[in-house]
Amino acid sequence: MELQGYRATVLSGSEWDAIAHASKPVREMQQRLREQGLQGAIKWFNEEA
C-alpha cells in the first residue's frame, strides 16, 4: 500500500538517522554528554550553543 510517499519516507528514515548521527554538532553534543552529564550538556546548550 502506497499512501502518498509514506512507504518511501519510512524506508529512508534510517538513512537520515545515520546521516544525522554522524554530523559534527551531534558528535560534539555526545562528547559533552559524556564529559558533563545530561544536566551539564543541557546547560551548555542553552547558554552557549
Nearby residues of 1 by Cβ (< 8 Å), 6 or more positions away: 7
pLDDT in tens, the chain (49 residues): 556 788 888 888 888 888 888 889 999 999 999 999 999 999 999 998 6
For the whole model, what pTM was predicted?
0.61
Domain ranges of the chain: 22-49
DSSP 39: H
- Listed residue (26, 9, 7) closest to 18, CA to CA: 26
Task: Please tell me the predicted confidence (pLDDT) of residue 14.
Answer: 83
Task: Please tell me the predicted confidence (pLDDT) of residue 41.
Answer: 95
